[in-house]
Amino acid sequence: MTFTSADRLRDVIHDFNADGFEALCPKLDALVAATAQRLVTEIEHYRTLEPEDLRQVLSRNTALCLAHLAHLAGSGETLDLSGPAATGRLRAGQGVPLPEVLRAYRLGFISVWEQLLVEAEQSGPQAQRALLHAATTFWRMSDAHCQAVTAAYRDAIAERLVETDRRRSALIAALVDGPPPGDDTAWEIANMLDFPYRGTFLVVTAETASPGPPPLPGLDAKCRELRTGSAWRAQPGHEMGVLSCPTRQAAQHVLEVVRATATGRVGVSPAYLQLDQTPRALRYAQVALESLPVGAPAVRQLDDTPLTEMVMTNLETTRRAVNRILGGVLSLPETDRTTLLATARAWLDAHGSAAEASHALYCHQNTVRYRMRRLEEYLRGPLEDPKVVAELAMALDAIGTFPTLLEHQRASGPPAGRP
């Protein structure tokens, strides 16, 4: 940034430059000490800084200020902003809030200005008039210093956030993709993520589109409101995060927030209790996402059941098994297929009682018997055979857990029938 001034102003303030601004330089140490005491008294965060740190920063920046006023005012020279820029980065690294840093700068300039007024009064009317004309330069310089501090502070914070995100992403990668984590490794990762080792965790996998909106906009802020920590890892096509919830009830609230913020397909794992179980939970979340229809925002959380774990082990094998068991039924027209599957579920829930199933289906029990006899024609044996009933129950549960199996079978060809 440059500061220019007319020749007339430069001539007017010349005498004061020599007698006023430069007169302060020998008094720099006293001015710095008084300003440091003022900052420590009025700004709480500055009480935690090392006195020598504060003294050095004030000395450097005050000297730059006086040098500019003494030699460069109105000359068109570039203002040296290296001091405030260095201070902005330093204070960002120390965790001093930006408003407090800017307040300190303003107080520092006020201290210098007050001392300049004292020097001008002692020097006489001409010095006072010169200082008045120099006021614009002085306060524009104050504004330039504050802008430089702000820009450097924000750059430092942005760099630190990027570094933190990279570090947390690397920790999640180590947790999921690294060697099978033992207790020691998981404990270390938990400490570095500021997570408990034992707690209530969720894994979230969100589909991403480029270009497109973020998959879960605002989720991190809402998680913080719920006292839930998070760490994320971005990969091509999706983002994966581990959420550390304070309680199981909080995990349900977090799931509601995920549903409210999702802009695409999102899979969520069952809640798990130890951080070293994250790889298994990630698989649940991935399968939950893959089971959702493509093209529409949706969130799904799988239950942690033996059947779910079996299906996850090999989804393609499960598809083939479902096709062998129910392929004929799934190839029927939609109305017939839906009716027979609903009847079969009600019949199994009723432990094979047509009378009890009829109440759930709001139909006569003979209708249930008729439909089950018709279903039996497409199965691999009679329903009196416990193995056939077990196969039917497994296939229906698999379709209920993974609806995409149903979509796959509808396009898979002719009915399987009985062997």
**Same structural domain for residues 75 and 189?**
no
Question: Tokens representing 251?
Answer: 């995990």
**Same structural domain for residues 283 and 317?**
no
What are the φ and ψ backbone dihedral angles of 263, each rounded to 5 degrees? -110, 0
Residue 70: the pLDDT is 67
Within a 13 Å sphere around the CA of 10, how many CA atoms are in the beta-carbon half? 13
**Same structural domain for residues 142 and 202?**
no
Number of domains in the chain: 3
Residue 31: the pLDDT is 82
* Domain-located, residue 166: no
* Domain-located, residue 167: no
Q: Is the pLDDT of residue 371 over 90?
A: yes
**Same structural domain for residues 116 and 215?**
no
Q: Is the pLDDT of residue 64 over 50?
A: yes
**Same structural domain for residues 405 and 330?**
yes
Q: Which domain holds residue 376?
A: 313-410
Q: Is the pLDDT of residue 185 over 80?
A: no
| Residue at which a domain ends, from 304, 336, 365 | 304
**Same structural domain for residues 232 and 343?**
no
* Domain-located, residue 366: yes
Q: pLDDT digit string (tens) for 210-256?
A: 766 788 998 988 998 999 999 998 888 889 999 999 998 899 999 99
What are the φ and ψ backbone dihedral angles of 219, each rounded to 5 degrees? -65, -45
**Same structural domain for residues 112 and 206?**
no
Q: pLDDT digit string (tens) for 304-320?
A: 877 777 777 777 888 88
**Same structural domain for residues 206 and 299?**
yes
Mean pLDDT of 107-134: 81
Show Cβ contacts of residue 34 under 8 Å, excluding neighbours closer than 6 positions.
111
* Residue scoring higher pLDDT (324 or 127): 324
d(CA 115, CA 65): 13
36 backbone φψ class: left, alpha, beta (φ>0; ψ -120 to 50): alpha
CA 211 to the chain's CA centroid: 19
d(CA 283, CA 74): 68
- Which CATH number do you get for residue 194? 3.30.70.120
| Residue at which a domain ends, from 240, 269, 304 | 304
pTM for the full predicted model? 0.58
Residue 77: the pLDDT is 58
* Domain-located, residue 419: no
